[in-house]
Chain A
Amino acid sequence: MTTRRRLLKASAAAAAALGFPAIVRAQSDKIKIGHLTPLTGFLGALGEYAVMGLKIAIDEINKGGGVMGRQLDVMSEDSVNPATAATKAQRMLDQDRVALLMGEINSASAKTIMQVAAREKRLFLQVGARSDVLRGADCNRYTFHVDIPVTVMVNAEGQALLRDGLIKGKKIFCLTSDYLFGHDLAKAAKAFIAANGGSVIGDELTATDVADFSPYLLKIRQAKPDMVATNLGGNQVTNFVKQYAEFGLPYAVAGFNLNTADAWAAGEGNLSGVWPTVWHHEIDTPGSKAFVAEFRKRYGKPPENHAWIEYVSLHILARAINETKSTDTEKLIAFFEKQPQFDLLKPRKGYFRSWDHQMMQEAYTFTVKPKGQAKDKWDTLQFGPAVPAANQPLELLATTKEQNTCKM
């Protein structure tokens, strides 16, 4: 008997070690999560904020006893570019044995990681990339998207521009970042402008590494538009608004994308116009206030939207694992598709829409405070009320089933 039992034990151990390494590792006491985000390049500054916010969430969760009683072990790396992002995602799954993937800001890198997730049938919580196609034509059932998509940004921003009389009957000149996100943003922006009686009189592509916008500024002056609308990504917007102020052109400026970190970097008197955002540090909820206070205490400055979104995303993931008592991708997908409500530190809770896996949530617009009203260098922006308004449905600004080509 003893020998037979011993033989069984030994062969089971051998089988486990050889055939089912994932199961063996899953029994280890930590839950491993792979996190990728750009830490260099034109989105690197946003990635740094993302990691800062993520660290606060990791510490909170682990100090609170972890998830299912196990500590979270989040390995975070620079995604560099779309090709490297995919390679690293694959390596994290194969060699580092992470249970799940999360992260990203760059839409092109998010797209390649999504392909890895679909191939490996593993959950990817796509945190910060905003291209419509990711939750549209290129969507897959293994990916859930937290940040607002391009269409929501355009609709939120567009409502503010309509209110200010800058669209109807106006000539609009677009500047578009020459990569996936920029093209996507331009497409949605042009559709909005056309639908609301404006005309696009120019649309110029700019490489993501353009440092000098002067030739574009000359073309804008030649075109004499009523408004310049930017579809730029990352720190490009900062470069553009600095040089726009330098050249002193008289036309109104607005844009369909600007992250708070890049707005803060514009410098006094350089930024003007209306811009959209997904969250800001002055939102008056207990959750946001506590997060902002903790962030300020740790890093000596307020968080920006990418810090916030990583923070809430890890909490969303932790809750999903806790409630399903599993890191199994299929169980997590089923949990999210039941559309549970998540606290996003905003007045209204959000949920992943089951058919395109997009988080439904409030958005905001902001303008720049008049000169002399800012208390410090972080206090230069004036945030507007949430859109949609409290009495409107959350899905108001999102793509409809007719518009969205997502098939899972």
Chain B
Amino acid sequence: MQSLFLLEQVVNGLVLGGYYLLIALGLSLIFSVGGVVNLAHGAFYALGAYLSLEIARFVGFGPAVVLSPVAVALLGILFERFILRRFYAADPILSLLVTFGLALVAEQAIRMIWGAAPLPATMPQALKGNVMAGDFLFSRYRLLLLAIVAAILAGIWLLLNRTSFGRVVRAGIQRPDMVAALGIRLQPYMTAIVMLGVGLAALGGALFAPIVIVHPAMGAEIITVAFVVVVIGGLGSFWGVVLAALLVGVVRGVTIHFAPAAGEASMYVLMFLVLMFRPRGLLGERIEKFE
């Protein structure tokens, strides 16, 4: 019976990993292509949640989950063109500082617009409740989330590996100088990647709003986890991030099963161990421009 409970925690951890993946994937993409650790990523997640609540008041939950990320992705154009673009070639410390500052400004802006008090958010009644598979209990809503994440994952993989857009992006990660030599401007691709990344973060915010508390600091809370996932997975590796997100979810679930007080610390211990043995992360590639 004990091992069955443990297995249930492992499966639940995989579902939770999907939740982390949505945020970490965009962070990883922006880092891989632009070389910028976007510490403002969490702000787009929070904005996605808040906008979805505002939009849902007019058109309902479903359309809001689609429209909010689109709106944030459009904001991402401005973010890339006027802020991020200036820092691709610069000292990484500058981009860290500017995105960190932006995260603080965004959090305070949310506090000024919507207040520090958390906003009520709820899902349609039909999505609440659980689904039993054998003796395993699943939240119906999270299974839906997992399906959405899987579809997005497949879509992004196809985009990166089966389209000319993806070829340029992948080449841009490894050899931006060669891409330039071939007469291709990387900038429009970078704009698209940032739109995709922050849009995914906003989608995460919109989808999680009914199950986690919607408050100004929600972005700061998620960025830490997303960053840990990217570091564990390894930079520039699509499957590394997927693997790391699932691993973090499972390790957290199993830790809470045995030692609940250590649950939130478990992911940092995992990161520590991974970096000790694999400094580039689980599936991290050697990327010349970062060496």
Task: Please give the residue numbers on chain A whose beta carbons come within 8 Å of chain B beta carbons, in ascending order.
Answer: 39-41, 44-45, 47-49, 178, 204-207, 209-212, 214-216, 218-219, 221-222, 235, 238-239, 242-243, 245-249, 261-262, 264-270, 377
Contacts and interface: CB of A to CB of B under 8 A. Distances in A.
Contacts of B213: 211, 235, 238-239, 242, 265
B117 A248 contact: no
Contact of A242 (B140, B211, B253, B265): B211
Interface stretch (B8-16, B158-166, B237-245): B8-16
Interface stretch (B27-35, B89-97, B118-126): B118-126
A178 B265 CA distance: 13
Contacts of A249: 130
Contacts of B116: 39, 44-45, 47-48
Given A205-B260, A248-B129, 13 more contacts: A45-B215, A49-B117, A212-B16, A212-B212, A214-B253, A216-B260, A218-B5, A218-B8, A243-B211, A249-B130, A265-B118, A267-B120, A268-B120
15 contacts: A45-B116, A205-B261, A206-B263, A210-B263, A210-B264, A211-B221, A222-B8, A235-B118, A235-B213, A239-B212, A242-B213, A265-B213, A265-B214, A267-B120, A268-B122
Interface in B105-157: 115-123, 125, 128-130, 137, 139-142
A329 to B, nearest CB: 32
Contacts of A210: 263-264
B41 interface: no
A157 B12 CA distance: 33
Interface string B213-247: 11111000110000000000000000000000000
A265 B117 contact: yes
A44 B217 contact: yes
Nearest to B256: A215
Contacts of A44: 116, 215-217
A143 to B, nearest CB: 26
A6 to B, nearest CB: 55
Contacts of A212: 16, 19, 212
Given A44-B116, A45-B215, A218-B8, A245 B263 contact: no
B122 A269 contact: yes
Pairs of residues from A and B, 9 with the lowest C-beta to C-beta distance, nearest first: A267-B122, A248-B129, A265-B118, A48-B116, A215-B256, A205-B261, A207-B264, A267-B120, A204-B260
A211 B208 CA distance: 10
A141 B179 CA distance: 73
Contact of B122 (A219, A264, A270): A270
Contacts of A222: 5, 8
Given A40-B217, A261-B117, A178 B261 contact: yes
B233 to A, nearest CB: 19
Contacts of B120: 264-268, 377
B280 interface: no
Given A214-B16, A215-B252, A246 B264 contact: no
Contacts of A265: 117-120, 213-215
A207 B256 CA distance: 11
Given A45-B118, A246-B210, A235 B8 contact: no
A267 B139 contact: no
Given A247-B139, A248-B129, A262 B118 contact: yes
B257 A245 contact: no
Contact of B123 (A215, A235, A246, A266): A246
Contact of B215 (A49, A204, A235, A248): A235
A1 B8 CA distance: 95
A45 to B, nearest CB: 4
A246 B128 contact: yes
A209 to B, nearest CB: 6
A212 B130 CA distance: 16
A3 to B, nearest CB: 60
Given A212-B16, A215-B12, A247 B122 contact: no
B19 A218 contact: no
B263 A207 contact: yes
A248 B130 contact: yes
B26 to A, nearest CB: 18
Given A209-B264, A242-B210, A243-B211, A215 B253 contact: yes
A242 B128 CA distance: 10
Contacts of B129: 247-248
Contacts of A40: 217
Greatest chain A CB density within 10 A among B8, B19, B122 is at B122
Greatest chain B CB density within 10 A among A212, A221, A248 is at A212
Contacts of B216: 44
Contacts of A268: 120, 122
A213 to B, nearest CB: 9
A245 to B, nearest CB: 6
